Structures are given as C-alpha cells and as structure tokens.
Structure 1
Amino acid sequence: MMNDSDEPSNALVRPYAVTRGRTRPRVEIAIEALVETTARGRDASVVGGREQQLIAGLCALRVQSLAEIAARMQMPLGVARVLVADMAADGLVAVYEPTAVGDDAVGTELLERVLSGLRRL
C-alpha cells in the first residue's frame, strides 16, 4: 500500500501524449546539442504546453544540453528531442549543434602529432 509520500507528484502522462503521437523529431538533434531560449520563447503567451513552458524556463536560465533537459524534466530522451525540435522550428529555442571534424584524417593526424610530441618528452 502506498502512502501519500510515495505517490508521484505529477499525474502520469504517456510520452506519446506529450508528443501528440510522434516518435521522430522534425529535425535530428544530437544528445550533446546545446539549447537556449530565444527572445520569442521568453514570451509565455507564445509558448504552448506545460512541457514546452518548462523547457523554455530551463533554457532561459542557462544554456542546457538536450541530455540535461531530458534528465531535469525526467522524461525519455526521445520525447525531449521531439519537443525541442518542435520548439526550434517555432523559433522558441535556438539549438547549437556540436561542430564535427569534416575529415577524420585531420583528427587522426593531429592525434599522431600529439602522441609523437609526448613521446619526445
């Protein structure tokens, strides 16, 4: 038997209800991508849905990674990804994707030079 302190504070809402049945985001967002609320997203009258308002509030205080948003919201990463992608498409948040090295050979060459320098020490 559960007592009052064991019950979850929020009503159980299925993830598919939060994303309106969608499982894929409009655009793919990396787990380490940084998210920041835009000026438009700071206007509470524009932001719809409780989850989107919470995300906008989190990312207005400081830039958050997608993984941090999912963890702080206690929601599956896929759900957070769909919500953030929707918010980005609506101009409510800005998403900063990590920069990728275009050529792995350049990255490998740099690592080899660093290793060679360390061996000379």
Structure 2
Amino acid sequence: LCRQVRSVAEVSALLRIPLGVVRVVIADMAAEGLVHVHQPQLEAGKPDLNLLERVLSGLRRL
C-alpha cells in the first residue's frame, strides 16, 4: 500500500476506513516499529505545491 510516502488521510481514503481509525492503527504500528512516520516538511513555511496539486486532483475526482 505505501511503497511511497503517503499522508494518513490518503491511507484512510485508499482503504475506505475512517481517518480516526487509521490514525490509531498507524500509531500502534509505529510503536511496534512496523512503519516509519515522518513529519511534513515545509520549506520556510510555504505549502508543498505537489501536495496541493494532489489534493486538488483528488477533490476534482469526487
């Protein structure tokens, strides 16, 4: 499922599982060392344009 970096919201949408449930499962998996969790990287407080484009694309598909 996650061979590339994905947001928790993306995982939730892909699996069609509520976001809160996915957050708990990922937190548990991280505690067991089964996944690596990274904080989003913002360049000098600027949003990631690639991420924004992906969000916009996803919204258009709804």
Unaligned stretches of 5+ residues in structure 2: 46-62
Runs of 4+ in 1 over 6 A off after TM superposition: none
Give the Cα separation in 2 of the matches to 1:96 and 1:81: 13
Q: Kindly indicate which of the two structures has a greater share of residues assigned to helix.
A: 2
Aligned residues: 45
CA RMSD of aligned residues (A): 2.0
SS state of the match for residue 94, structure 1? coil
Counterpart for residue 52 of structure 2: none
Counterpart for residue 20 of structure 2: 78
Taking only the aligned residue pairs, the percentage that are identical comes to: 53
Q: Which has the bigger relative contact order, CA under 8 A and spacing at least 6?
A: 1
Structure 1 length-normalised TM: 0.33
Give the Cα separation in 2 of the matches to 1:92 and 1:77: 19
Unaligned stretches of 5+ residues in structure 1: 1-57, 108-121
Counterpart for residue 95 of structure 1: 37
